[in-house]
Amino acid sequence: TDAPETTTAGAETTAAPDTTTADTTPSSSGGSVTYGVEQEYTSYNNSTADQTLFSNTQVLNTTLPGPFISMPDLTFQLWEDLMVSADIISDDPQVAEYVIQPDAVWSDGEPIDCDDFYLVWMSSNGRLNKPNPDYTGPGQTDADGNEVPETLPVFNTASTTGYEDISTVECSDDGLTVTATFDTPYADWQGLFTPLLPAHVVEREAGVDDLTAVDTDATSADAEALGDFWSKGFEGFDPDIAVSGAWFIIDSFTPGQNLIVKRNEAFWGTPANLDEIVFLQVPDPTAQPAALANGDVQVITPQPNADLVAQLDGVEGVTVSIEQGLTFEHFDFNQANK
């Protein structure tokens, strides 16, 4: 499972944005694999408080870039297709320097550069807040008994962890070197800036020329326009917005049925082994083993239990692997609302 920064209501599985790939290369390439998934994809931005879902992570791991890859043994490995280097260059203060490969581009041809890193920090450092139009005074509560806040975050981020410790993000003149300076040392710095979203798309849709020129300490019309689009504009699937910076690109999405990713032909690095992955909705987890046995799907990742493992162990040609991961299931209790 996947997740330091995730929250949803109820018992849904949620997950932090984290790009993961296997460390072995198949002897042959091409073809299609069907992956049976319980939850449906909802958004291309998996970092918002209301859209961070494991179902999104499963898709976005194949399409969105980040400087490090979480390996099967839970160590981080520099993704050399994207990065020349990523290192701590100073301990006091802690300073992380990221150098991006000059050939790295989004699927629409725009470069992957410092602006994309800057957007992650800007959207998740928690500095920007705006007046809440529904606020009328202290002690006001909503219909559910929750106190109405005086301000709302400009960016509806799922978590500020790590990014709130960064004081500045600076870009080199060519946009290929990113320098992040921390106010407070952050040990898990390799887990930051993943995934990157296309900053040029957010600028275009928000009508802002340069997001790095927008004040990150005081709210403004430009900041709110960026926050509004970042928070809601990636929901669903729009091919003009869901540009890829990794191995695959979303080809189609049929709600209630499937989502298909195909090889990103603009990808500059080592190409994907598969031609496509079909994320097929199998919403009943008890039906997933049968779908696997019937050949309707080739991969499932259900929540393990003893009966399920025994059922799968009896299916010819199926390999069962139970491993630690980065995702967790959780219930969230609102203790402020009696």
| Average pLDDT, consecutive stretches of 10 residues, N- to C-terminus, the chain (338 residues) | 33 39 56 95 96 93 96 92 98 98 98 98 96 90 87 95 97 98 97 97 98 94 97 97 98 97 97 96 90 93 84 87 79 76
What is the structure's pLDDT at 72? Answer: 84
Contact (CB, 8 A) for 169 and 121: yes
What is the structure's pLDDT at 313? Answer: 84
Q: Is the dihedral of CA 213, 219, 225, 230 positive or negative?
A: positive
Q: For the chain, give the number of residues.
A: 338
The four Cα atoms 61, 65, 198, 189 give a dihedral, to 10 degrees, of 110
What is the structure's pLDDT at 74? Answer: 86
What distances in angstroms separate CA 130 from CA 87, 212, 218, one per listed residue?
35, 19, 9
Burial 43-59 (b: 16+ CB within 10 A, else e): bbbbbbbebbbbbbbbb
How many other C-beta atoms lie within 10 A of the C-beta of residue 187?
Answer: 8
Contact (CB, 8 A) for 120 and 196: yes
pTM score, two decimals? Answer: 0.87
Dump strand ranges (E) for the chain. 13-14, 32-37, 68-70, 76-78, 83-91, 94-100, 129-131, 151-153, 166-171, 177-182, 248-254, 258-263, 276-281, 299-300, 328-329
Contact (CB, 8 A) for 180 and 166: yes
What distance in Å separates the CA atoms of residue 111 and residue 117, rounded to the nearest whole number? 12
What distance in Å separates the CA atoms of residue 303 and residue 168, rounded to the nearest whole number? 40
What is the structure's pLDDT at 322? Answer: 86
What distance in Å separates the CA atoms of residue 276 and residue 260, rounded to the nearest whole number? 7
Ramachandran assignment for 102, one of left (phi > 0), alpha (psi -120 to 50 degrees), beta (any other): alpha
Cα 259 to the center of its chain, rounded Å? 17
